[in-house]
Structure 1
């Protein structure tokens, strides 16, 4: 997986993109929820940055899949932790959690893979607050 600048727009975009695709599909309501997140413009996540980062994420995931024929893409927990560790500012972490929850709830279906991702992000990021 590519490394991005800590707290940079690509690092944030990758996590939001992962939130959208983790359940195996992207719904229009999830895309809308992401684009409506009020803090994205302030941190430099525009449509072009997001689209390019989504493409890079999908390419990285396909390269990492041991069995593409199974139709499943799994991210090893250690790799997911590396991706989440690229967001270190506590304020940005909380804004990202809010955006991730908005994306997850947007289509009205809470998938177990979405739950695992959001829970892992919350566990990873909230330790800073204690």
Structure 2
């Protein structure tokens, strides 16, 4: 899997790209939504740089986690968690949840893979970033 600096525009774009492909395909409605909401620019990237991140994610997933694209819900939640770990800024986490929801809900249908991706991100970040999660991590480390 490609490595990006924590909280970088590329790491953030990879989360949105994961939401784009979570149902096994990228629809024209989702592409239009990306453009209408200036999602690449909001993440600090050009549209071309966002496409490069999306393309890189697809390549990495084919190598790291080959899956039957007829069943996109098979993306391993642990792999999703690993990608989500590249984001630890609470404000950016909240922004990414909103951007992912915008993309996922663009076609007025939430597929199983999309629901899995979004819920995994939400739960993962909530556990890592909430005060209770932080105290639980500190207690486990001691």
TM class by shorter chain equals 0.7 to 0.9
Q: What is the deviation of 1:89?
A: 0.5
Residue in structure 2 matched with residue 92 of structure 1 by the alignment: 92
Residue in structure 1 matched with residue 28 of structure 2 by the alignment: 28
Residue in structure 1 matched with residue 135 of structure 2 by the alignment: none
Further displaced range: 116-125 or 72-81: 72-81
TM-score of the superposed pair, with normalisation by structure 2: 0.80
**1:7 matched to 2:23:** no
Q: What is the deviation of 1:39?
A: 6.6
Are the counterparts in 1 of residues 20 and 104 from structure 2 also a CA contact under 8 Å? Answer: yes
Are the counterparts in 1 of residues 81 and 124 from structure 2 also a CA contact under 8 Å? Answer: yes
Residue in structure 2 matched with residue 108 of structure 1 by the alignment: 108
Are the counterparts in 2 of residues 13 and 49 from structure 1 also a CA contact under 8 Å? Answer: no
Cα distance per residue 1:63-86 (max 9 Å; x no partner): 1244x6x44554322221110010
Structure 2: any 5+ residue segments left out of the alignment? 132-142
Q: Which protein shows a greater Rg?
A: 2
Q: What is the deviation of 1:116?
A: 0.7
How many residues align structurally? 128
TM-score of the superposed pair, with normalisation by structure 1: 0.86
In the TM superposition, 1:45-124 aligns within 5 A as 45-66=45-66, 70-71=68-69, 72=71, 74-124=74-124
Structure 1: any 5+ residue segments left out of the alignment? none
Change beyond 3 A, Cα 1:44–1:109 = same
3-state DSSP of counterpart to 1:35: helix
Q: What is the deviation of 1:61?
A: 1.0
Residue in structure 2 matched with residue 129 of structure 1 by the alignment: 130
Cα distance per residue 1:14-57 (max 9 Å; x no partner): 11111111101111221222334467535412212111111111
